[in-house]
Structures are given as structure tokens and as C-alpha cells.
Amino acid sequence: MALGLLQQGSSYGVLYLYVGIFMLLITGFVATTLVLARLLSPGRRSGTKGQIYETGETTVTDPWRPFPVRYYVFALLFLIFDVEAAFLYPWAVIYRDLGLYGFVEMVIFVVILTVGLVYAWKKGALKWV
């Protein structure tokens, strides 16, 4: 049954099956390598070795604590442009057939986003201190 499914070759779903199987295979390969390295390499644990590296100093703080909110602003901007791309890609594929209508639509869409970018710029959100 599975064999018959695979033999259709170029059909839509099968390609994704390909990609899925390959990803599982890669994951398995890397995991196997890690296990193999664990078996081949010496493993003498000690308290000093288990400490984190901070150029020879003893660690005093836990790095798992709040970090600057700046990153959040950039993540938000990224999200906006990423979603924009999700809309622009299908538009770009059929742009040749859309003609003037497609051009005007895109201009309106991108200008709104550009205004957002300019606003963030002027507000100083893009400034890295």
C-alpha cells in the first residue's frame, strides 16, 4: 500500500511525504551521531568541569533572568514584515497576469507598511543603544 502511494512520484502530497521522511532521517542521523560520540568518548564527570565558562571567573549570577525589551520591538517589526511577505509572495507569483490592478493594490499595501517602518524609525525603535 505504502509502496503504491510512493510510486506516483511527482504528485503533490507525496513530495511532502518525501520532505517529512528526510527530516526524520536527518534528526535520526544527528541523534545517532551524538549517541555514538557519547559511547566512543571518555566521560569522567567532575564538579569543576560542570561549571560554566566565564573566562576563568567563578559565576555569581544566573544568566536566566530578564533581558532588555529592545529585542521585543525588533521581534514585533520582524513579525509585521514576515506576515507582509506571506501576502506579497502569492501576489508576486501572479503579478504578470494582474497588470495595473495588481500594481496599485501592492503600492497601497506596501506604502501602509512603509509608513509603519518610518514611524518606528522616527520613534527611535530602530536605535540600538
Partner 1 sequence: MQTVLNLLEAEPIRLLLSFALILFLVLNLAGILTFAERKVAAYIQLRYGPNRVGPRGFLQPAADVVKLFTKENVMPHRADMWIFLGAPIAMFLPAAAVWLVVPFAPRSVVADLNVGVVFFIALTSIGALGLIMAGYGSRSTFSLLGAMRGAAQMISYEVPLILSLLGVIMLSGSLSFQDVVNSQSGGFWHWYFLPQLPMFITFYIAGVAEARRVPFDLPEGESEIVGGFMVEYSGMTWGLIQASEFASMALVSAITATLFLGGWQPPFEFLDLGNFNWLWFAIKTALIIFTFQWIRWSLPRLRMDQLMDFGWKILVPVCLIWLFVTAGAMLLLPSVF
Quick one: which of 11, 18, 112, 119 contacts partner 1 (CB under 8 A)?
18
Phi then psi for 122, rounded to 5 degrees? -65, -35
What angle (nearest 5°) sits at the alpha carbon of residue 74, between those of residues 72 and 76? 70
Measured between alpha carbons, how far is 6 from 49 in angstroms, rounded to an integer?
Answer: 50
Phi then psi for 46, rounded to 5 degrees? -155, 160
Residues 88-127 that bind partner 1 (CB under 8 A): 88-89, 92-96, 99-100, 102-103, 106-107, 110, 114, 117, 121, 126-127
Quick one: which of 11, 23, 87, 115 contacts partner 1 (CB under 8 A)?
23
To partner 1, the closest distance from the beta carbon of 10 in angstroms equals 7
Measured between alpha carbons, how far is 124 from 129 in angstroms, rounded to an integer?
Answer: 10
Quick one: which of 11, 59, 115, 119 contacts partner 1 (CB under 8 A)?
59
1 is a contact residue toward partner 1 (CB under 8 A): no
Quick one: which of 67, 69, 108, 122 contacts partner 1 (CB under 8 A)?
67
Cβ-in-10-Å burial (0-12, 13-18, 19+) of 77 comes to middle
50 is a contact residue toward partner 1 (CB under 8 A): yes
To partner 1, the closest distance from the beta carbon of 78 in angstroms equals 4
Phi then psi for 75, rounded to 5 degrees? -65, -40
Quick one: which of 1, 41, 66, 122 contacts partner 1 (CB under 8 A)?
41
